Amino acid sequence: MRRIAIGAAGLLVTALLAACGGTASTTAHGGGHSAGGSPPASTHGGLHSASPTPPAAALRTGESFVTLTMAEPYTPRPTGGGTDEYRCFLIDPKITEPGTYLAGTQFLPGNGDVVHHAIFFRADKVGQARKLDAESPDPGWTCFGDAGVDGDWIGHWAPGTNEVLLDPKLGYPMAPGSMLIMQVHYSTLALGGKEPGSDRSGVRMRMATGQRTPLSTALFAAPVELPCTDAEKGPLCSREAAVADVGKRFGEQSLAQVQQLSEWCDGDKPVAGATQSCTVPVEQPATIHALAGHMHLLGRSIKVELNGETLLDVPQYNFDNQALQPLDEPVAVKKGDKITVTCTHDAGLRAQLPVLKDLPPRYVVWGEGTQDEMCLGIVVVS
C-alpha cells in the first residue's frame, strides 16, 4: 500500500493494500491469535491459501456474471533484492450500457504459490493505462502502491477473502467504456529460491443494472514503528537502515509513505512501540456499510473507531481472513467526525514463523513487502 491522499468519497485517507491474507474472530460494529501467545499454525504457517474458490451465491434480480482472465500468463520477477512484485493488468469487461454497477467481485487466483493478494481498480480514462501496458515488453506493468494511473478501488482479495454481498441497492458504478485494472501482489518469499512459475489469474464480476446507490472505498492508515526484540541484533534493527531498505526494494514513493504517516499521525516524531494509531477528521458526510482490517504476518489486533465508538474490532488478527465485515446497520458520518485506526504488532512472531525466521531481524515500518507491515482500515462507503 502506498500513496496516501485525502479522500476516497471525500472520506479520509486513501492508500493501497499490499501483502494480504486475514480466520479471525472478527466483528464489525461489533474480531481473531492473542497477544503473547503462539500463532495458530493455520494462521501463520505460510503465505498463500490453497482453498478452492467457493461456489457463487445466487444471482439477484438484475444481476449477471462476467468472468475475465489475464490476456496471457505472467511470470513474476521481483527486483531490488526483494521477494515481492506488484503487477497491474488491464482487463476489459466491455461495458456498453449506462446504469451498470459492480455488485460483487470474486478473484480467481491462478498460481497459488505466488499470488498473494489482488486489488481491483476502475479506470474511466484508460489512455495512460494502455500506454504503460504497451511500453512493457511483458504483460501488464509494474505498480508498487496503487495502479500508477487514475483509478478507483472497487474490490480486493486476499487469502480467506471471498465475495461479500452488500445490500442489492448498492454498487460500484461502471460507466460505458470503463475498464478494470487488476493489481496482483506476487510474493516468492515462501519458495526458497525455486522458480515461481507463471500465473494467469482472473476475476468473476457480479454486474448489475438499474438504479443503485454508488459505492466507493475509503482507507484509513496508521504508521508502523515496530522495533526489534531485545533478543534480536543486526544492522536493520536501526530505523534509519530499515527505512532505507524499504526504499531500496520499492522506490522513493515507499519512503514518502513512511514519512507522510509519521508527519500526519505522529507530528513527525515517530515513537517505537508495538501499538500505533492515527486519528483523522472526516472531510465530508458519508455512510459506512462494511469494513475490513489489514496487516501482515506480525499483526496481532486492529480496531477502527468512529468518535470513540467501535466500528470494527479484530482482537486476534488472522492473516488468512481479511474479508469485509458488513455492518448490521449502515452508520452515518458527518464532517468533523473522527476516525481512529489502531494496530498492535508483535516482533516476537518473527522467530516463530517459518517464512520469516531465517530473515535478518529488522525495525519494521510501513512497507509493501511481506516482511514489512501495515495498519489499514478498509471502509466501504456511499
pLDDT in tens, 294-318: 999 999 999 999 999 999 999 999 9
The answer to whether the CB of 335 falls within 8 A of the CB of 49 is: no
pLDDT in tens, 176-212: 999 999 999 998 888 888 889 999 999 999 999 988 9
Per-residue confidence band for 159, with pLDDT thresholds at 50, 70 and 90 = confident
C-alpha 336, offset from chain centre: 26
Sign of CA dihedral 258, 186, 31, 347: negative
pLDDT in tens, 246-293: 999 888 888 899 999 999 998 999 999 999 999 999 999 999 999 999
Q: Which of 114, 138, 112, 80 has the alpha carbon at shortest distance from 195?
A: 114
Residue 38 has pLDDT above 60, yes or no: no
- pLDDT, residue 235, reads 98
Q: Which fold has domain 5-381?
A: Jelly Rolls (2.60.120)
Query: What's the rounded Cα separation, in Å, for the pair 134 and 362?
Result: 38
Residues 6+ apart with CB under 8 A from 244: none
Mean pLDDT of the chain: 86
Residue indicated by cell numbers 501467545: 37
Residue 24 has pLDDT above 90, yes or no: no
Sign of CA dihedral 266, 268, 271, 274: positive
pLDDT in tens, 74-104: 999 988 778 889 999 999 999 999 999 999 9
- pLDDT, residue 27, reads 54
- pLDDT, residue 2, reads 29
